[in-house]
Amino acid sequence: MASSLSSECSPGDLIEIFRPGFQHWALYVGDGYVVHLAPPGGYPGAGISSLGSVLGKTAEVKRELLTDVVGNCKYRVNNLLEEEMKPLPVREILSSAESMIGKKMEYGITSKNCEHFVTQLRYGEPRCLQVEKAVMGAGLAGALGAIATLAYSVMKN
């Protein structure tokens, strides 16, 4: 699957990789390669599918073959913020991505994750819709809980 989709990718595209329980994100840079935020060290694609990889405190920017990063997971091109934001020029996106390769970075699942990393490269602003949806869901759940508690209290009295 990976080799056929890489021919549909254009440099600067965001690649969403469906891992068990979360999505990993990478930036396609051409010739079958992506740049992504991954656990430091190891071999290509190592550890990215494990829960431990998303709970670490540091990450490394790596340039690896899309097929190695994807492994057996499903993935797609997903330039998720196109309706809200204009992407930077492709040359600028690729230059920024290449300049980051090999750098170790602080990693935080809710504030400095792989989706933040690639959206910063493509759009100039770090965003993570996975986190934003989770926060909104938690806020909605909290609000509904408060309303239910209030309704119960009113009905009880």
Active site residues: 24, 36, 114
Strand intervals (E) in 70-140: 74-77, 104-106
**What are the residues whose beta carbons fall under 8 Å from the beta carbon of 51, sequence distance 6 or more?**
21
d(Cα 93, Cα 104) in Å, to the nearest integer? 19
Rounded to whole angstroms, the Cα distance separating 7 from 46 reads 24
First to last CA, the chain: 61
Cα gap 86→77, rounded to integer Å: 16
Rounded to the nearest 10 degrees, the angle between the axes of helix 90-100 and helix 114-123 is 140
